[in-house]
Amino acid sequence: MFSIGLTGGIGSGKTTVADMFAVRGVPVIDTDLIAHQITVPGGVAMPLIESTFGPAYVAADGSLDRAKMRTRVFSDNTAKAQLESITHPLIRAESERQRNAAQGAYHIVVVPLLIEAGDRASKVQRILVVDCPVDTQIERVIRRNGFTRDQVLAIIERQATREARVAAADDVVVNDSAATLETLQREVDALHVRYVAMASGNSKPRT
Ligand code: ADP
């Protein structure tokens, strides 16, 4: 099936854009959501996380203690690699399952770190980047998450640069401070028409 990999930096508007495809009936597979679901109480990643990192990283309700794990992996690359070796195969398997079950001409896979991971892992036909200036990202994430400017900057510094992302893109949606939800929906609708046409023409995968 025709797959579009949707990516962008934190606060660029990936979720907003994905939701706009979803209202047009396009199946959206959100790898962030899957990452969250495998670490809720009873989530499939929890037994291995507990045996690898210890019960200190499991909250009282049995879910991942996200704040604690975030702090740990931010300063410890080995821990980060260990966590990823547990979660990534589970995320990939669930994402694959949802892709196989998806109906319609094409689907969207939201992969925040698509460029960083190399697009080969995601087997998408096209890469759609949601682009905006770093200042806009910072403003949005401060407003959405209550993070400090420095916290947002630290996250942005660990992600691909805006230039690298745009260079890897097949399509770009500009979601800067001038973009309204109405202009954004119009861009999404134009892409939707193109993607339906491409899917019926059955383009070859990128990888
Ligand atoms: P991401 O998923 O890339 O982190 P989101 O889609 O969650 O980004 O957007 C970040 C925040 O900015 C959200 O609170 C969202 O509602 C808001 N936002 C994104 N794009 C716009 C826009 N064009 N106009 C107004 N608010 C926006």
Gap from CA of 55 to ligand 1 centroid (Å) = 35
Would you say the C-alpha torsion 45, 47, 52, 58 has a positive or negative sign? positive
What CATH number belongs to 2-12+26-200?
Answer: 3.40.50.300
pLDDT above 70: residue 205: no
For the Cβ of 122 lying below 6 angstroms from any atom of ligand 1, the answer is no
C-alpha of 110 from chain center: 4
Q: What is the pLDDT of residue 52?
A: 97
pLDDT per residue over 152-172, tens digit each?
999 999 899 999 999 999 999
Å from CA of 140 to ligand 1 middle:
7
Q: Model confidence over 59-110: pLDDT tens digits?
A: 999 999 999 999 999 889 999 999 999 999 999 999 999 999 999 999 999 9
**Residue 134 CA, ligand 1 centroid: distance in Å:** 13
Specify which residues 64 forms β-bridges with: 58
pTM: 0.90
Rounded-to-integer distance, Cα 178 and Cα 60, Å: 44
Give 119's pLDDT tier (boundaries 50, 70, 90). low
Say yes or no to pLDDT of 206 above 80: no
Task: Please work out whether the CB of residue 112 comes within 6 Å of at least one atom of ligand 1.
Answer: no
- Does residue 196 line the site of ligand 1, with CB under 6 A? no
12 lines ligand 1 (CB under 6 A): yes
Domain coordinates in residue numbering, the chain: 2-12+26-200
Atom of ligand 1 nearest to the CA of 181: 23
* Centre of ligand 1 from the C-alpha of residue 201, in Å: 32
